[in-house]
Structure 1
Amino acid sequence: MAGLVEKLQKMWNPPDDEYDDYYDEEPASAGASYDDREESAAPRRTAFSSGSSSRVVNINSRAHVQVVVFRPISFGEETRAIADELNNKHTVILNLEKTQKDESRRILDFLSGVAYANDGKIKRVSTSTFIITPYNVDLSGDEVMDELEQNGVYF
């Protein structure tokens, strides 16, 4: 029993090192301080950019948003093309009216994963029509439908 206790003590409290906590030697140069050293040539990186390279961006400006309409019939090459458009940060309107129910579910599952991977959103616009947006496009209510109709996209 005593052997078990000693093993546990050695495991939890390792033996002291034979090294001393002090140094026998003096520092190489007592005259040079830490502040006098030159900084390395590598640039210092921070989470924020420096003031010299900053630029002002108008928050209220409307960026050119490309909207692409797809009407796939089955899961396949066209679904991959839709995924490529989403990866290129384009807004996609997906019309599944002529797609069978099981194929529609498969397409929606796949494109939901693509949207999620790109921090995008998917929203039902009508019974079988969806809009999939990248992370930088915000959707809000009926204004979206009005704006799409003004730009020539009709359902």
Structure 2
Amino acid sequence: MGFEKISRFFGMSDEDFNEDINNEPAQQQAPVQESTARERSEMRQKAPVENTNVVSMNQVKNNQTSKIVLFEPRVYSDAKEVGTHLLNGRAVIVNFTRIDEKQAKRIIDFLTGTIFAIKGEIQRVGDCIFLCTPSKFEIDGNISDIIRDKKIN
């Protein structure tokens, strides 16, 4: 009785159940041939593997935009927020004009360690302004050279 309820739940009729019990001849299956490791390797090389459902985890979605965060720390503890932005894949421009020099140096040391850990880059772009980028960003050029060239001309 319990089996009948389960079979009805899964959509099996009594006829399906009776066919299995009556031991009707099973279909003959062709024997499976064992293939050698070399044959399997050759098959893998010949067969083009194309699975469009696989997506790299580092790939940016088409509708997702990259962000650059502007930040002006006022105390050393603000460095943690800058580090969090970097860990989340955002570039950060840090302006140190509103903090004393000693605190700014400590924050730069912290950010340098964070940048090293994520294989990013940090570059001075002004007197008290630094650009910190994660590894997926590429910095091209050098602002200091441009400013120096303008002073010479």
Aligned partner letter, 1:99 = I
3-state DSSP class of the match of 1:104? helix
Higher helix fraction (1 or 2): 2
% identity of equivalent residues: 25
3-state DSSP class of the match of 2:125? strand
Moved over 3 A (4+): none
TM value normalised by structure 1: 0.52
Cα gap change, 1:142/1:114 in structure 2, threshold over 3 Å: closer, same or farther?
closer
The structural deviation recorded for 1:75 is: 0.3
Cα gap change, 1:110/1:142 in structure 2, threshold over 3 Å: closer, same or farther?
closer
The structural deviation recorded for 1:33 is: 7.8
Cα gap change, 1:127/1:88 in structure 2, threshold over 3 Å: closer, same or farther?
same
Counterpart in the other structure of 2:65: 64
Aligned partner letter, 1:127 = D
The structural deviation recorded for 1:34 is: 7.5
Tell me the C-alpha RMSD between the 2 structures: 3.0
Counterpart in the other structure of 1:51: 50
TM value normalised by structure 2: 0.53
Matched, 1:124 2:129: no
CA distance in 2: counterparts of 1:127 and 1:121, whole angstroms: 18
3-state DSSP class of the match of 1:73? coil
Q: Contact conserved, 2:86 with 2:92, CA < 8 A, in 1?
A: yes
3-state DSSP class of the match of 2:139? coil
Point out where structure 1 has 5 or more consecutive residues left out of the alignment: 1-31, 40-49, 56-60, 144-155
Aligned partner letter, 1:86 = L
3-state DSSP class of the match of 2:66? coil
State how many pairs are aligned: 94
CA distance in 2: counterparts of 1:138 and 1:33, whole angstroms: 51
Point out where structure 2 has 5 or more consecutive residues left out of the alignment: 1-32, 41-48, 56-61, 144-153
The structural deviation recorded for 1:142 is: 6.2
CA distance in 1: counterparts of 2:116 and 2:70, whole angstroms: 19
Aligned partner letter, 2:72 = R
